[in-house]
Amino acid sequence: MTALDSKTVRPEQAASVWSFFRDRRFTTLFVTDLWERFSFYGMQALLFLYAVAPEEAGGLGLDAGTGGAVFGLYMSTVFIASLPGGWVGDRLLGPRRALLVGAVSIALGHYVLAIPVRSTFYLGLLLVAIGTGLVKPNLPVLFSVLWPRATSSQREAAFSVFYMSIQVSALIAPLVTGLLGEKVNWHLGFGAAAVGMTIGVLRLLIGLRDFGADGLAPTSPATDLERRRVLRRAGLGLGAVALLFAIDVAVGTFSVEHALGLLGLGSLAAPVLYFRYLLRRPEFGPAERARVLGYVWVLIPSGVFWMLFSQLGSTFSLFAREETDRRVAGWEIPASWFQSLHPLFLLLVAPLSAWLWVRLGNRTLAPIKLAGGLLTSGLGFVVMAGAAAVAAAGVQVSPWWLVAAFFAQACGELTFGPVGLSVTAEIAPPGYASQMMGLYFLGAACGAGLGGQLSRLIEVVPQPAYFGAFAVVGLLGGLLLAARGDRLSRQLGLGEPVQPSAVGP
């Protein structure tokens, strides 16, 4: 046994869910993800409120509908960037280098956001989105390399524990960035994550030495011809987009809605085009093509789930600010602080979830767990519809309505999120692990973008009907997925012996 092996623990060897932290590689990825999630959830807490804050208060002065659409634009861009980020990890840099480049880009983006100049705000958002697009698909792949022979239930348990890193930072981020942004200065709130992400980059640089050769090289390196082809197509595509916007600006017709519409079309087209690309890969056999086809039934529910989730940072924040009694002992709680309820509940329940997946083993199919996540999320919107009905009488409602809704959303995410990541890692064809993770997040991009556009309706549709419609979508989606659970599990080959990942030795 090597020195490295003596400091590692595998899911199948763990005596408890806390045993994973004895692996120094796990801790490195845990800390890196903690600070990347601090960035993500700090943005979730502040972006919408900053967008709708009056210009004299330092905000962008947008109406609630446009502010929600901007928030959806950011969320969608982050998820869309995961597909090229996955390609970079699989074909160009390897997941380790892609992860490091992404972490640095996020830190730089937050330093730009800390500059109190409105003209650089969208540049900062772009840098954060690019960096997150590199981190999102490559960090879970590098994580899954740690235990290549884990079973489905063991992998789900490990992902559930790893999910705790998200919740620690997601709990703290709204408290820190919300207090600084709402009470002191918006740009100071945005920039708070820069320091944390810098710490994360330094910790990653130190900890990557423990990985040996794992994840260092791309699993399926692109040839020179492929690199030139991708660069040429990407350049033509970006050039065409830049030209369209330049013309739009020159004739004086540019608006945020144009960017939102273009990105929305892109988020809808990208999964279809990428599925076509995967199904035409000559190295895939019938079994791999069947798994890719079956994965549609994971991708679409993912879009539905993240469409629901996207409301937390927009319409839930609006409801907290406008319709909720936030005064405690004469002090008004910042509306952004309610965003910490979601990760708080996730953090409390995550160890129980990890223990439960190990205890259940393969007796509960992954599609059934995904369906449970959608159903629980739908119940959260049932609660919000009830709260909105009370608020319609012209009174501010008790914050306990939001507490209950966030609890339901947290339970839904804790069921859907780790299982969705685990299924994606398990069924990915060799050499396509990071790209499959990117495809998973493309489903999230579709959902987040659609959710951002739908948030415009909050100004014209009665709130009880608005939240009630989301409840119906979540509940119906969960029931449909549950009905297909057995067949889908067989098509994806879930629960079968897992071969060592192609990401590393």
| Domains detected in the chain | 22-492 (1.20.1250.20)
CA distance linking residue 344 with residue 355, whole number of Å: 18
List Cβ neighbours of 287 (8 Å cut-off, separation of 6 or more). Answer: 493
Q: What DSSP line would sit under 345-414, residue for residue?
A: HHHHHHHHHHHHHHHHTTSS-HHHHHHHHHHHHHHHHHHHHHHHHHHTTTSPBPTHHHHHHHHHHHHHHH
pLDDT number for residue 22:
67
Strands (E), 27-183: none
pLDDT number for residue 50:
83
* Torsion sign over Cα 373, 375, 376, 382: positive
CA neighbours closer than 13 Å in the CB half-sphere of residue 94: 14
Low-confidence ranges of the chain (pLDDT < 70): 1-22, 144, 146-167, 254-257, 259-260, 264, 267, 350, 353-355, 357-364, 495-505
Nearest alpha carbon to residue 342 among 409, 269, 264, 417: 409
In terms of pTM, does the model score above 0.75?
A: no
pLDDT number for residue 208:
83
pLDDT number for residue 476:
95
Q: Residues 106, 157: contact at Cβ < 8 Å?
A: no
pLDDT number for residue 106:
92
